[in-house]
Amino acid sequence: MSDEKKLDRRRAASLLASLPLALGAAVGQAQTTPVAPPVFRRGGMFAPEVPERPSFFFAQMIYGEGLSWNPYPTAGRTLMEVLVDRTSIAASPDRVDLRPSDPKLFYYPFLYWTGTREFAPLPQTDLERLRLYLESGGTLLVDDALSTPGVGFDKAFQREFGRLFPGKALERLPQDHTVFLSYYLIDRIGGRTANRPYLSGYNVGERTALIYSGNDLGGAWARDRNGRWVNPTDPGGELQREQAFRLGINIVLYATCLDYKKDLIHTPFISERRRGKKK
């Protein structure tokens, strides 16, 4: 039995539970420009909860047919809720789903692409749109929900990457990359799994425009309708899940602040913090 066909019972159950949500999202239209519901932030400026206009949207890429593009319909929302809770970003909890061909794609400079299965090659026009998207300032987080290299989603994505940037390769992000210190100081990388304890990426200029996670971050973020985690996180347990959320927050902060944390003013503080962490 090939890897892509192996599904444990818990995962199958969580997928079934998320099906209605997925169907609803698939039937619904992608949002246009953000006249979106306000974000309610705890302890706002004037009152305990004050609506703030959302300034960040979790956009997820639709591709292929069916729902394979959406293995965890709640992952984005959960991450956004945690983002709002822990940072100053007024992120909308409502996900925006877009195909690369969507004329509104370029209004969402952050895009999430995930899946478990191998998929058909994207239309050339979609690839060209994605390339332009990345070169114009967009950030693409690619997340292998199967968390298995060489098969399923990873296999298909590597093929598409080769079409997207011919002759180029994904490179491991060094430990001192800004994404690992944009909010949290991250030493360990994990998602639902920790099979590949690193992130890979592709740079456009000095900016890492494409970040690739092989550990199914979405799988760690996803909750069911009762608020329970859809998946366990192995082998690190809930600590690993926390790391997955921190990594997600860092990736969003990197997308919106770029190399801000590499400014000289921060360096001595970060060095000191790291020294403190090691003790």
Partner 1 sequence: MNFIGLLSRLGVDTRGFDRSTLIFPGLESRLALALAALLLVLALVWARSSVSDLSSRPRRFFLIGLQIFAAVLLAGLALRPTIQLASVARVTDRVAIMIDSSSSMTLPAAGGGNRDAEAFKFIERNHEFFDQLERDYLVSWFTFDRDLRELPGRPTAEWKSEGRGTDLMAAVSGAGAAGTAPLAGVIVISDGADTTRLGERFRAGKGGEAVKALLADFPAPVNTVFCGGGGEIRDLAIVSASHDDYGFVHNPFEALVRVRSEGNLAAQTPVIFKQGDRALATKTIALDGGREVEATLSFTPRQVGEFMFSVEVPPVPGELTTANNVVRFPLKVLRDKVRILYLCGNPSWDERFLRQTLKKDPAVDLVSFYILREHWDDYRARQEEVSLIPFPTDELFTEELDSFDMVIWQNFRGAMYMPGAYPQYMQLLNKYVRERGGALLMIGGHRAFFGQGMMDPILVDLLPIVPDDRIPNYLESEFKPVATEAGLRHPVMAIGEAGENPADVLGREPALLGFNRVKGLAPGAIGLVAHPFERSADGGPLPIVAVREVGAGRVAAVMTDSLWVWSMAAAGAGVSAKPYQRFWENTVRWLLQDPEMRLITFSSEQGRVSPGEAVSATIEVLDDTYHPTDRATVKVEVLEQPTGAALTPTEPEPFGVGKYRVTLKPSLPGGYRLRATATLNGRELGHDDLLLEAAEESAEWRDVLPRPEILAEISKASGGVAIAPGGDLKSLSFRRSALEQVTGTRDLPLWDNAVVFALVFMILTLTWFLRRKWGLR
Catalog residues that contact partner 1 under the rule CB under 8 A.
33-35, 41-43, 45, 52-53, 55-56, 85-90, 103, 105-107, 109, 129, 132-133, 135-138, 181-185, 207, 242, 246, 253, 255-261, 263, 265-266, 269-270, 273-274, 276-277
- Nearer to partner 1 (CB atom), residue 27 or residue 265: 265
Distance CA 88, CA 86 (A): 7
Tell me how far, at minimum, the Cβ of 273 lies from partner 1, in Å. Answer: 5
- The neighbouring-strand residues paired with 110 are 139
- Nearer to partner 1 (CB atom), residue 10 or residue 274: 274
- Nearer to partner 1 (CB atom), residue 71 or residue 100: 100
* Contact by Cβ (8 Å): 211, 178: no
Burial (CB count <10 Å: 0-12, 13-18, 19+), residue 238: exposed
| Residue 191 tokens, joined | 């998602």
Tell me how far, at minimum, the Cβ of 186 lies from partner 1, in Å. Answer: 9
Tell me how far, at minimum, the Cβ of 15 lies from partner 1, in Å. Answer: 29
**DSSP state at residue 273:** H
The SS3 call for residue 223 is: strand
- Nearer to partner 1 (CB atom), residue 113 or residue 183: 183
Tell me how far, at minimum, the Cβ of 68 lies from partner 1, in Å. Answer: 26
- Nearer to partner 1 (CB atom), residue 151 or residue 185: 185
Radius of gyration of the chain (CA): 18
- The neighbouring-strand residues paired with 247 are none
Sheet of strand 199-204: strand arrangement: 96-98, 59-61, 110-115, 139-144, 207-213, 199-204, 171-172
Tell me how far, at minimum, the Cβ of 84 lies from partner 1, in Å. Answer: 8
